[in-house]
């Protein structure tokens, strides 16, 4: 029943099904797996349109169970980002004030001589 491609098919099955010990597998098991592969390949794959209701249910469940956590994390991130921007703005203003004071001190010290 097997042809010269049996070792190749067997190797592919070992990789696909992650069979640990090939020596423990009997030839009948490999043959059954090949038959199962053939039968499964004849079943048409569902299109995205057919899967859409299932995916919508999964999305709804995800949003109900994980939505509040996502919102909390986003709000915490937005608050932290706002604080970071405020700190940067304050640092820039402080730097500008320091530079202006240095310029004033430089002018005042140079003009009194």
Residues in the chain: 113
CB contact set of 2 (below 8 Å; sequence gap of 6+): 9, 31
- Between CA 17 and CA 100 the distance in angstroms is 72
pLDDT at residue 84 greater than cutoff 60: yes
- Between CA 21 and CA 10 the distance in angstroms is 12
Domain boundaries of the chain, sorted by first residue = 1-43, 47-113
Report CA-CA distances (Å) from 29 to 7, 18, 22, 24: 14, 14, 11, 10
**Mean pLDDT, the chain, whole residue set:** 82
- Between CA 33 and CA 39 the distance in angstroms is 10
pLDDT at residue 1 greater than cutoff 50: no
* pTM (two decimals): 0.43
pLDDT at residue 85 greater than cutoff 60: yes
Q: For 98-113, what is the mean pLDDT?
A: 73
Let me know: does 40 contact 34? Beta carbons within 8 Å: no
Q: For 7-32, what is the mean pLDDT?
A: 66
């Amino acid at each position: 029943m097997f042809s010269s491609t049996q070792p190749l098919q067997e190797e592919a099955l070992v990789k696909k099904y992650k069979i640990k010990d090939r020596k423990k597998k009997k030839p009948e098991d490999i043959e059954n797996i090949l038959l199962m592969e053939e039968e499964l390949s004849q079943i048409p794959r569902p299109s995205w349109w057919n899967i859409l209701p299932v995916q919508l249910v999964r999305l709804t469940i995800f949003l109900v169970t994980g939505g509040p956590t996502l919102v909390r994390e986003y709000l915490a991130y937005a608050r932290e980002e706002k604080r970071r921007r405020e700190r940067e703005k304050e640092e820039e203003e402080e730097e500008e004030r320091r530079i202006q004071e240095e310029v004033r001190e430089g002018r005042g010290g140079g003009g009194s001589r």
